[in-house]
């Protein structure tokens, strides 16, 4: 074999060994991040990894001549450069709140629970009859800001004569953060009760969407909170309790997930620090209150593009190439850690079915044809709440039923206002409780 070929083989072998050493150190670092829960912004894992790598490099270079002793340190230096990026914040570590919206003022209310929430008010905007019962919107998320798209929808309701209020749940949007241990589904229900009390206008009508529908369902199961509610609209709810959360089942008709173009814009997951943090949190390998990144830093870093196909899953497959922009980059806000924490408390909670069966608050359930939610999440509420008077199966829409496409907003408004005014429903009452087995069997 020629000398040049021998040199090439040796060089390739040494290069592969060096790359293997770098990969091993990175894997050790990630394992230590998990074991230490990211303590000290990852510095504990970093220093331990580099210490172990340095000791190994010293051992390998012990019997070499002086210049050659430095060679084993090269993989350590490369690994240090790679892993250090996971420990360095690239966004502010103090909460950076979205700027004020140009079309509605932001109020801040201090609730009796200790939460300080951002509140938006749309007074009745039509010259006709005004409805005396205030209307409150509980957004989804669970811990995120209210999108510009949702604000447009709330203004439509105000034009129908409703006095509309919405608040961003604690930790979301312009609302103040809580400590991580305070993010629980029961706290969200207590905040709702405290919000109605602070509003001080008697009973309210409430629309709870997605995770907001979970808060509303659990409120209906609590007699003390339900006493504050005039009528309730549960739209596309998530699981109401632990037993429901562990149900496996089918979803609605095909959504745009996997069909829509990938969202554009910056992603926090393009930065190693946040890719590691959010990835390990989603896998359950880091706790929501991990020491790797603080809650505020995570909120500042997370972007709309990080939601990936989750946004597309809220639309029907046929709308895949015309999904509207739901929010602006300036207004978008999502707290991945706090949201995971609340979702976990739902999964860990006992059944609320016995309490829900005693509900007496008139309620309506809204289900989307192309829902990305497990169908049993909605049918569990229908089966156990005897006060649900009608179900409206919304054709042609996905999880986000008021989305600005075609006449979808107007159809949603018509369904909601008919129920609030106790008028005949625009759509058939479907599925009824008796029709739940057939509804699930037919994969509607």
Which element (helix H / strand E) includes 411? helix 408-420
Same domain, yes or no: 35 and 127:
no
Tell me the residue range of the domain where 300 lies.
Answer: 107-441
Same domain, yes or no: 50 and 116:
no
CA dihedral 337, 338, 341, 342 (to 10 degrees): -150
pTM: 0.92
**Interior CA angle at 57 toward 52 and 58, to 5°?**
100
Question: 306 lies in a domain?
Answer: yes
The total of other beta-carbon atoms located within 10 Å of residue 135's CB is 27
Question: 437 lies in a domain?
Answer: yes
Same domain, yes or no: 262 and 117:
yes
- Sign of the alpha-carbon dihedral angle for 388, 393, 399, 404: negative
Which token pair is 170? 């604690």
The residue from 84, 115, 141 where one domain ends is 84
Question: 97 lies in a domain?
Answer: no
C-alpha span between 87 and 272 (Å, rounded): 9
Cα 289 to chain centroid distance, Å, stands at 16
The residue from 49, 84, 119 where one domain ends is 84
Question: Contact, 135 vs 207, CB < 8 A?
Answer: yes
Residue 385, CA atoms < 13 Å, CB-side half-sphere? 32
Count of domains observed in the chain: 2
Same domain, yes or no: 129 and 254:
yes
Same domain, yes or no: 17 and 157:
no
Question: 244 lies in a domain?
Answer: yes
What DSSP state is assigned to residue 278?
H
Give the chain's residues under pLDDT 70. Answer: 1-16, 18, 57, 60-72
Same domain, yes or no: 317 and 390:
yes
Q: What local confidence, expressed as pLDDT, does residue 5 receive?
A: 58
Could you tell me the CATH number of the domain that includes residue 426? Answer: 3.40.50.1820
Q: What local confidence, expressed as pLDDT, does residue 2 receive?
A: 67
Question: Contact, 33 vs 276, CB < 8 A?
Answer: yes
Question: Contact, 251 vs 372, CB < 8 A?
Answer: yes
Question: 213 lies in a domain?
Answer: yes
C-alpha span between 44 and 32 (Å, rounded): 8
Same domain, yes or no: 254 and 147:
yes
Question: 90 lies in a domain?
Answer: no
Same domain, yes or no: 159 and 262:
yes
Q: What local confidence, expressed as pLDDT, does residue 39 receive?
A: 94
Same domain, yes or no: 12 and 150:
no
């Amino acid at each position: 074999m020629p000398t040049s070929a021998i040199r090439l083989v040796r060089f390739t072998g040494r290069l592969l060994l060096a790359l293997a050493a770098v990969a091993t150190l990175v894997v050790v670092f990630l394992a230590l991040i998990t074991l230490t829960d990211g303590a000290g912004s990852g510095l504990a894992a970093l220093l331990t990894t580099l210490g172990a790598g340095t000791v190994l490099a010293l051992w390998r270079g012990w019997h070499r001549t002086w210049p050659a002793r430095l060679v084993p340190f090269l993989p350590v230096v490369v690994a240090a450069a790679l892993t250090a990026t996971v420990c360095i914040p690239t966004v502010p570590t103090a909460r950076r709140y979205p700027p004020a919206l140009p079309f509605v003022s932001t109020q801040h209310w201090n609730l009796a629970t200790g939460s300080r929430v951002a509140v938006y008010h749309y007074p009745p905007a039509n010259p006709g009859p005004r409805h005396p019962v205030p209307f409150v919107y509980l957004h989804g998320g669970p811990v995120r800001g209210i999108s510009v798209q949702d604000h447009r929808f709330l203004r439509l309701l105000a034009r129908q004569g409703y006095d509309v209020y919405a608040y961003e749940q604690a930790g979301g949007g312009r609302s103040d953060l809580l400590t991580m241990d305070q993010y629980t589904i029961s706290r969200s229900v207590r905040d709702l009760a405290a919000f109605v009390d602070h509003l001080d206008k008697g009973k309210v009508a409430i629309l709870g969407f997605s995770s907001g529908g979970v808060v509303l369902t659990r409120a209906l199961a609590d007699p003390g909170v339900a006493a504050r509610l005039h009528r309730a609209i549960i739209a596309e709810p998530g699981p109401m309790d632990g037993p429901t959360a562990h149900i496996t089942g089918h979803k609605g008709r095909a959504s745009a997930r996997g069909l829509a173009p990938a969202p554009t814009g910056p992603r926090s997951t393009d930065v190693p620090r946040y890719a590691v943090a959010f990835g390990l949190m989603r896998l359950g390998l880091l706790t929501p209150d991990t020491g790797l990144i603080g809650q505020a830093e995570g909120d500042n870093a997370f972007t709309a593009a990080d939601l990936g196909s989750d946004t597309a899953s809220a639309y029907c497959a046929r709308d895949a190439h015309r999904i509207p922009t739901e929010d602006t980059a300036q207004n978008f806000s999502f707290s991945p850690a706090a949201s995971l924490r609340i979702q976990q408390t739902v999964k860990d909670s006992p059944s609320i079915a016995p309490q829900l069966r005693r509900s007496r608050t008139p309620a309506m359930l809204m289900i989307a044809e192309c829902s990305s939610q497990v169908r049993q999440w909605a049918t569990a509420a229908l089966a156990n709440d005897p006060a649900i008077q009608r179900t409206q199966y919304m054709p042609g829409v996905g999880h986000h039923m008021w989305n600005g496409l075609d006449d979808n907003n107007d159809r949603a408004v018509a369904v909601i206002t008919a129920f609030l005014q106790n008028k005949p429903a625009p759509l058939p009452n479907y599925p009824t409780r008796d029709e739940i087995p057939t509804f699930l069997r037919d994969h509607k």
